[in-house]
Amino acid sequence: MNDYLRESLSYFGIFRKMSRIKKTYKPAEVSYGRDKEQYFLYYEPGKVVSDKIIIWVHGGGWNAGNPRFFDYVGQCVCDQGYRFVSLGYRLSPKYKYPCQIKDVCEAYRSAISYLKDKGVDTSKVIMAGPSAGAHLTSIMCYSQKDQKEYGVDVSNIIGFIGSGGPYSFREDQGLTIRLLLDQLFRKGDNRRNGEPVALMAKNNIPMLLIQSKHDGLIEYSCAEDFAKKAKELGNSCELYSVEDKKNTHSWYTAGMFMETREENKGLDKFFTWIEEL
């Protein structure tokens, strides 16, 4: 309960800091569907220092958020010299699962095509996302069923980073995540069809799971469940436990991109892991 209150009280500080972020890079906006949320933003850094591309899917409980709102993430990644793509998708409760994973897969295909048309090498992609975005990107990366159904080729993805992801739908989850899942799925749906730990298959994409024991919304055991399944299948997985004092859900999943690598150990871990791939 204490961590839940800390999470709730953190929002003012997060929004205050967000309002101060400098907008150095202006992204290109590209639609891939008819719905207003079916678009992605592409950020080109002033100086590209790596041939690795970071493709990011936002969080927001599947019912909120969009790439424009999380512009500061693109600013942070570009400051590190990486090309960055932020994917949008249709939201619940209006659109029920699997609309979200279908959109993420379609947006990914569209983004790869867009980058190739620009002459960008797309052979080294890092998929990343916080919270609901970690849920969706983990399914795209590790579910052969969804890859086949939505025509996604993941052979160029060299790493996956998930922060605060609900990878398993445990019975001991808090009220908030249970309500969000009730909005995401239709009544009577088999939720195992949207549960990352149930869908994971063996592949060669290494993963970094960033999770906090003081999240306030998502149980740490969700990441432990996913890491255990990865180990059983022989998939490469590192589970990183957040060390920063700002360790509640919103701060370490997305808020860390408003700080520097010197200020935030989780953010430094994010980029160090990518650098070492």
158 or 1: whose pLDDT is higher? 158
Could you tell me which residues come within 8 angstroms of residue 95 by beta carbon, excluding any fewer than 6 positions away? none
pLDDT, tens digit (0-9, with 9 covering 90-100), for 212-260: 999 999 999 999 999 999 999 999 999 999 999 999 999 999 999 999 9
CATH number of 2-276: 3.40.50.1820
pLDDT of 1 higher than 80: no
pLDDT band at 171, cuts 50/70/90? confident
Residue with tokens 């609900």: 166
Residue written as tokens 């309960």?
1
- Enter the DSSP assignment of 70: T
Least confident of 141-145, 146-150, 167-171: 167-171
Look at the pTM and tell me if it is higher than 0.95: yes
| Mean pLDDT computed over 93-107 | 98
Name the CA radius of gyration of the chain, rounded.
17
Whether the Cβ atoms of residue 139 and residue 146 lie closer than 8 Å to each other: yes
User: Which region holds residue 127: left if phi is over 0, alpha if psi is between -120 and 50, else beta?
Assistant: beta
